[in-house]
């Protein structure tokens, strides 16, 4: 049970980090698609914000406190903070990969909840997996190019001039994320 509580708090912190980053992008996005992306990020962060609450309530149902402070969230979250203002294409790109991190944590939580026979929680996690897979599809569909594998990120860092599968805006962002 201890392992499940730890994983669920990791899910809570990671979900909160995704919510905050999406709201940050909703506020700060710029460019010709401003109106569309402002609304798209708005819908996205609102949905994730709702999941922060229901995830915390699932943790309470396990009989333990839910973490609700920025310090522990930062330590526990699998998503790193966004301190700069990336170009619009890089915002979509980073949310796509951060959303995938939430899917990873959900998948790990599912395995532990199954081992613990926590059926209500399993049902909740499966619902969140469905929703995050829909987010993944929408974020991927919003990219100018097909999503690339994580290995491409390393490839860009090593040989930016030869990597063609990524837009210039995103390439610049990967090479200098704190711009
Ligand atoms: Fe707003």
**Tens place of pLDDT per residue across the chain (179 aa):** 899 999 999 999 999 999 999 999 999 999 999 999 999 999 999 999 999 999 999 999 999 999 999 999 999 999 999 999 999 999 999 999 999 999 999 999 999 999 999 999 999 999 999 999 999 999 989 887 666 666 666 676 677 666 666 677 777 777 665 54
Q: Looking at the domain assignment, is residue 125 inside a domain?
A: yes
How many Å lie between the centroid of ligand 1 and the Cα of residue 169?
25
How many Å lie between the centroid of ligand 1 and the Cα of residue 21?
13
Cα–Cα distance between 153 and 150 in angstroms, integer?
Answer: 5
Entry pTM: 0.87
Q: Looking at the domain assignment, is residue 165 inside a domain?
A: no
Residue in 114, 99, 91, 106 with CA at minimum distance from that of residue 172: 91
Q: Looking at the domain assignment, is residue 35 inside a domain?
A: yes
Residue in 101, 105, 100, 93 with CA at minimum distance from that of residue 177: 93
Q: Looking at the domain assignment, is residue 110 inside a domain?
A: yes
Read off the CATH number of the domain in which 139 is found: 1.20.1260.10
Cα–Cα distance between 37 and 89 in angstroms, integer?
Answer: 10
Q: Looking at the domain assignment, is residue 111 inside a domain?
A: yes
How many Å lie between the centroid of ligand 1 and the Cα of residue 88?
16
Quote the number of domains for the chain.
1
Report the sign of the C-alpha dihedral through residues 36, 77, 165, 159, in that order.
positive
Q: Looking at the domain assignment, is residue 81 inside a domain?
A: yes
How many Å lie between the centroid of ligand 1 and the Cα of residue 67?
26
How many Å lie between the centroid of ligand 1 and the Cα of residue 171?
28
Cα–Cα distance between 64 and 55 in angstroms, integer?
Answer: 13
How many Å lie between the centroid of ligand 1 and the Cα of residue 42?
6
Q: Looking at the domain assignment, is residue 168 inside a domain?
A: no
Domain span holding position 14: 2-147
How many Å lie between the centroid of ligand 1 and the Cα of residue 26?
7
Q: Looking at the domain assignment, is residue 101 inside a domain?
A: yes
State the first-to-last Cα distance of the chain, in angstroms, to the nearest integer: 42
């Amino acid at each position: 049970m201890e392992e499940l509580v730890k994983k669920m708090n990791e899910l809570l912190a990671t979900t909160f980090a995704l919510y905050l980053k999406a709201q940050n992008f909703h506020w700060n996005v710029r460019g010709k698609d401003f109106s569309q992306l402002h609304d798209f990020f708005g819908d996205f962060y609102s949905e994730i914000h709702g999941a922060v609450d229901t995830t915390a309530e699932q943790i309470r149902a396990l009989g333990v406190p839910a973490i609700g402070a920025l310090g522990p969230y930062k330590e526990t979250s699998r998503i790193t903070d966004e301190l700069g203002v990336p170009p619009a294409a890089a915002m979509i790109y980073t949310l796509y990969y951060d959303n995938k991190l939430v899917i990873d944590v959900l998948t790990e939580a599912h395995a532990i909840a199954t081992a613990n026979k926590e059926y209500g929680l399993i049902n909740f996690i499966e619902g969140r997996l469905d929703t995050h897979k829909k987010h993944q599809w929408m974020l991927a569909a919003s990219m100018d190019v097909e999503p690339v594998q994580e290995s491409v990120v390393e490839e860009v860092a090593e040989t930016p001039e030869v990597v063609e599968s990524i837009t210039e805006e995103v390439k610049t962002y990967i090479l200098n994320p704190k711009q």
